[in-house]
Amino acid sequence: MVVKLGGSILRSSKEYIHAAKNIKELFIERNLRPIVVVSASKGITDLLQNVARGRKEAFKEIEDRYMGIALELGSVKLVKRIEEELSRLKKIAEGIEVADLALTDFILSYGEKISKIIMVQALELNGIRSFELNATDIIVTNNTHGDAVIDYPTTAVALEKVYNVIRDYNYVPVIEGFIGKSFEEEVTTIGRGGSDYTATTIAALLKIRNVYLVSDVDGIMTTDPDIVPTAKLIKHMSYAEALEASMYGAKGINPKAFDPLMKIYGSSILIGSWKKIGTTISKEIPKEYAGPKVVMFKDAGDYAYIAVVGEGVSSAKFVRDILDIAVRLGIDVKGIQAHVHRPSAILFVDKGKGREILKMFHKALFEEGSN
């Protein structure tokens, strides 16, 4: 399987070690051989963005964070490696005023690259034979800096060459997410949250059944838990539902991550934390799992919208149910939008009332079992 580690669980040396231990217990000791995809430690990409904007002081914070982690892990080799990478980054930071898109990508790549080096060391400290794979040798993209698209045929060739060698061994390859290289040989990035996209691309191209996206949340929630504390974990979703939910702002997965799964091979995505993998996203879900999964709100122009996402919710019957709920709750609906080919129904309501209406809808849909 492919295991992607989000930046939110890689904030300190302890978390890198914790991640390595979990990889050992959950996968290696069960004779499963993961390909590990790492994000940058939480907050580092933002700091690197600042470096690219010419804010040289941001470098110091990056240096403190990553050197702190390296020193705590206590390996001379690791410390020297991180020093090397940071000294290159420092030269760049000192040499630029404001970076263009290509140079920005080059700068951003240091976040994931250094994280990968640390992760390999953390795995080795846990007795797992591990080695670095370079995304720039494998993930080939177009040259749209900042939001590049992966070229699957070329990437497949590069990936298969490596995989044909490593699949016979018990070594754990660790590759940085988010990073690629264009045909023009320049470093590219594939969009914020792009490590999901790296992970699903690798899984799809190698026809690997499961992709684990591990972060500090247990899975995708029925709504934003910061607004509705009673939000629940969603156990099963289809690609179409998850894609629709992410387009309406649900946290959990980058929409681009579905592209290789829909075009090449339909791996399942398992989302969660080290404590609980709460959500499984599959190409298709059984009919009994159809129905509303997520409700979100957003202010848009003169109105706010409430998006209800789930297979079948754009059907006339369900739209009627939603309207019944709205009438029962006394919500003034300004408009409604539902397409039969999309797993969502959108209600337009008064701007400023979105949050309140979201809570009411969440209660009606997921807490009272009223659908």
Partner 1 sequence: MKTVKIVIIGFGNVGRAFARVVALKKKIIGSKYGISLSIVGVADSKGMALRSDGFTEYELLKLCEVPRSSVNLFSPYAYDYVDLRYMYDQVQPDIHVELTPANYLTGEPGLSNIVFALSRKVHVVTANKAPIVLKYRELSGIAKKNSLQLRFRSTVMGGTPLIDTIMSLRSEEIEKIEGILNATTNLILTEMHDKLIDFDEALKRAQIMGLAEADPSLDIDGVDAAAKIVILSHVIDRSIALNDIKRESLSKVKLRDVVEAIKEGFTIKYIALFDVSRKEAFVRIVRIPRTDVFAQIGGTLNAVRIKTDVSELFFVGKGGGGTETAHSVLDDVIAIALGIEGDKR
By CB under 8 A, what part of segment 162-181 binds partner 1? 162, 164-165, 169, 171
Kindly state the smallest distance separating residue 294's Cβ from partner 1, in Å: 42
Q: Which is nearer to partner 1, 89 or 313 (CB)?
A: 89
Kindly state the smallest distance separating residue 196's Cβ from partner 1, in Å: 26
The first and second tokens of residue 142, run together, are: 């177009």
Q: Which is nearer to partner 1, 120 or 325 (CB)?
A: 120
* Identified binder of partner 1 from the candidate list 30, 31, 95, 301, rule CB under 8 A: 95
Non-local CB neighbours of 310 within 8 Å, separated by 6+ positions: 241, 290, 291, 292, 293, 294, 343, 344
Kindly state the smallest distance separating residue 59's Cβ from partner 1, in Å: 14
Q: Which is nearer to partner 1, 184 or 288 (CB)?
A: 184
Q: Which is nearer to partner 1, 92 or 277 (CB)?
A: 92
Q: Using the rule CB under 8 A, is 76 a contact of partner 1?
A: yes
Which residues partner with 300 through β-bridges?
303
Q: What is the strand order of the sheet 303-309 is part of?
A: 294-300, 303-309, 344-350, 335-338
C-alpha pair distances (Å), 61 with each of 8, 42, 137: 17, 12, 29
Kindly state the smallest distance separating residue 256's Cβ from partner 1, in Å: 25
Task: Specify whether the CB–CB gap between 338 and 313 falls below 8 A.
Answer: yes
Task: Specify whether the CB–CB gap between 51 and 58 falls below 8 A.
Answer: yes
CA–CA distance, 107 with 199 (Å, rounded to integer): 21
CA–CA distance, 269 with 6 (Å, rounded to integer): 14
Kindly state the smallest distance separating residue 243's Cβ from partner 1, in Å: 35
Kindly state the smallest distance separating residue 165's Cβ from partner 1, in Å: 5
By CB under 8 A, what part of segment 101-160 binds partner 1? 103, 106, 117, 120, 129, 131-132, 137
**Which of helix, strand or coil describes residue 223?**
coil
For partner 1, how many residues bind (rule: CB under 8 A)? Answer: 29
CA angle 141, 146, 150 (to 5 degrees): 20
* Identified binder of partner 1 from the candidate list 31, 184, 287, 301, rule CB under 8 A: 184
Q: Which is nearer to partner 1, 92 or 247 (CB)?
A: 92
Q: Parallel, antiparallel, or unpaired: how do β-strands 335-338 and 210-214 relate? A: unpaired
Which residues partner with 68 through β-bridges?
none
Kindly state the smallest distance separating residue 113's Cβ from partner 1, in Å: 12
Which parts of this chain interact with partner 1 (CB under 8 A)? 76-77, 80-81, 83-84, 88, 91-92, 95-96, 103, 106, 117, 120, 129, 131-132, 137, 161-162, 164-165, 169, 171, 184-187
